[in-house]
């Protein structure tokens, strides 16, 4: 008998094939996430769950799934899962780090460039028939080359952004709770306290996990510390930035511009106050969205799931102690 699993969205074909080869899989094929009651109903008899960042996997849900052995999240972030609750129940959790690093860094850089050079405003102006002439001050923006970039979170993705920024001759500052001496040596990034990074950076890009400590890390008080010309980019998790404080900061020109791949809430409703402003770009959480990367994420998620179902250590465990204890 194959282990029974529930997959909360259709993944790239290669990943689905791998899952079907080993598991008896039921797949939610909707475009939107399965509603909570559907998820609760479908986990009753499963051995494994392949979830997305849009699924809330909490203790209540785990209690509905007494046979659940493995949860595999199709994302590097896992703030949607109650990890201590999984660990207490002996459920191994896996995620998909590494494979999406460069693709996410590409988008962070794309957002930075688009905001600095007002690309989205320019496109809107053209489509609206408002491009009347060439003019000395039309859509003037800011230079990226030679500017100071502050990176909050110097892990894999922060480091990949730093590598790109070096090619643009940027001065690189970073803040993290742990120093990254390898990045300091290899990329010449300079560690500074958070408040100094906020005060000295022309661009700030966020690459930290969402935790209790980073929730609303970028608050009204912290916007006040930034340069009035500062451009903020967030491709990490929406709640790291207090979006209403961001709205005030952008409206009052406390900072110049923001470019967001992630928001709070998600999805961002079309009538959100931020979307009334011209100095913000918002895209719908697409940082890892290249065909190649989404396929690699799927294969990695499938491997994590299958290893967990076999009682083996997944290639990318979040709570490895579950398997270590069982040995
Ligand atoms: C992640 O993996 O956590 C991203 O937010 C989506 O790829």
Residue 68: asked if its preceding bond is cis (omega within 30°), the reply is no
> Considering only CA atoms, which residue is closest to atom 1 of ligand 1?
75
**Ligand 1 atom closest to Cα of residue 235:** 5
> Block means of pLDDT (10 residues each) for the chain, length 327 residues?
98 98 98 98 98 98 98 98 98 98 98 98 98 98 98 98 98 98 98 98 98 98 98 98 98 98 98 98 98 98 98 98 93
> Considering only CA atoms, which residue is closest to atom 6 of ligand 1?
75
288 pocket-lining for ligand 1 (C-beta < 6 Å): yes
Ligand 1 pocket test, pick from 33, 236, 287, 298 with the greatest ligand atom count within 8 Å of Cβ, gives 287
Angle at 283 between CA 225 and CA 294, to 5 degrees: 120
**Ligand 1 atom closest to Cα of residue 77:** 3
Quote the pLDDT of residue 176: 98
Our CA dihedral for 128, 231, 155, 287, rounded to 10 degrees, sits at: -10
Rounded distance, CA 251 to CA 131, Å? 25
Angle between helices 156-167 and 101-116 (to 10 degrees): 50
Rounded distance, CA 238 to CA 236, Å? 7
CB 175 within 8 A of CB 201: no
* Centre of ligand 1 from the C-alpha of residue 312, in Å: 24
* Centre of ligand 1 from the C-alpha of residue 228, in Å: 30
305 pocket-lining for ligand 1 (C-beta < 6 Å): no
**Helix extents (H) in 128-265:** 156-167, 181-187, 194-200, 220-225, 243-251
> Considering only CA atoms, which residue is closest to atom 3 of ligand 1?
77
**Ligand 1 atom closest to Cα of residue 75:** 2
52 pocket-lining for ligand 1 (C-beta < 6 Å): no
Beta bridge partners of 150: 173, 204
* Centre of ligand 1 from the C-alpha of residue 101, in Å: 10
Rounded distance, CA 309 to CA 22, Å? 10
159 pocket-lining for ligand 1 (C-beta < 6 Å): no
* Centre of ligand 1 from the C-alpha of residue 128, in Å: 34
> Which positions are annotated as active-site residues?
237, 266, 285
Structure tokens at 156: 């894999």
Place of tokens 């020109």: 253
Rounded distance, CA 273 to CA 270, Å? 9
Q: Please give the full DSSP string across 126-144, using - where no structure is assigned.
A: HHTT------TTTT-----
CB 93 within 8 A of CB 319: yes
**Ligand 1 atom closest to Cα of residue 53:** 3
Burial class (CB in 10 A: 0-12, 13-18, 19+), 302: buried
* Centre of ligand 1 from the C-alpha of residue 73, in Å: 10
Rounded distance, CA 302 to CA 317, Å? 13
Place of tokens 């949607």: 80
Q: Residue 169, by phi and psi: left (phi above 0), alpha (psi -120 to 50) or beta?
A: left
**Ligand 1 atom closest to Cα of residue 288:** 7
Please tell me whether residue 254 adopts helix, strand or coil conformation: coil
């Amino acid at each position: 008998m194959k282990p029974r699993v529930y997959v909360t969205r259709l993944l790239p074909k290669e990943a689905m094939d791998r899952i079907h080869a080993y598991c008896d899989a039921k797949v939610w094929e909707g475009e939107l996430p399965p509603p909570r009651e559907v998820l609760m109903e479908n986990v009753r008899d499963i051995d494994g769950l392949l979830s997305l960042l849009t699924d809330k996997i909490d203790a209540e849900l785990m209690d509905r799934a007494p046979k659940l052995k493995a949860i595999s999240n199709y994302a590097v972030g896992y703030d949607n899962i109650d990890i201590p609750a999984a660990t207490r129940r002996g459920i191994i959790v896996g995620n998909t780090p590494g494979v999406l690093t460069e693709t996410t860094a590409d988008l962070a850089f794309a957002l930075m460039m688009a905001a600095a050079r007002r690309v989205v405003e320019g496109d809107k102006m053209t489509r609206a028939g408002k491009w009347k002439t060439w003019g000395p001050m039309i859509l003037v923006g800011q230079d990226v080359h030679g500017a100071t970039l502050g990176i909050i979170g110097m892990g894999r993705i922060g480091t990949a952004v730093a590598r790109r920024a070096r090619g643009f001759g940027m001065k690189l500052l970073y803040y993290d709770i742990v120093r990254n001496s390898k990045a300091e040596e290899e990329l010449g990034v300079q560690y500074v306290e958070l408040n100094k990074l906020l005060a000295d950076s022309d661009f700030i890009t966020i690459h930290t996990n969402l935790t209790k400590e980073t929730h609303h890390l970028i608050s009204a008080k912290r916007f006040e510390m930034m340069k009035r010309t500062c451009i903020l980019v967030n491709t990490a998790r929406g709640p790291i930035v207090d979006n209403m404080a961001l709205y005030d900061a952008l409206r009052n020109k406390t900072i110049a511009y923001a470019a967001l791949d992630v928001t709070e809430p998600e999805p961002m409703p079309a009538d959100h106050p931020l979307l009334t402003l011209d100095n913000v770009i918002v895209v719908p959480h697409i940082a890892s969205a290249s065909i190649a990367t989404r396929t690699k994420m799927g294969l990695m998620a499938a491997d994590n799931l299958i290893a967990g179902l076999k009682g083996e250590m997944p290639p990318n465990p979040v709570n490895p102690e579950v398997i270590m204890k069982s040995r």
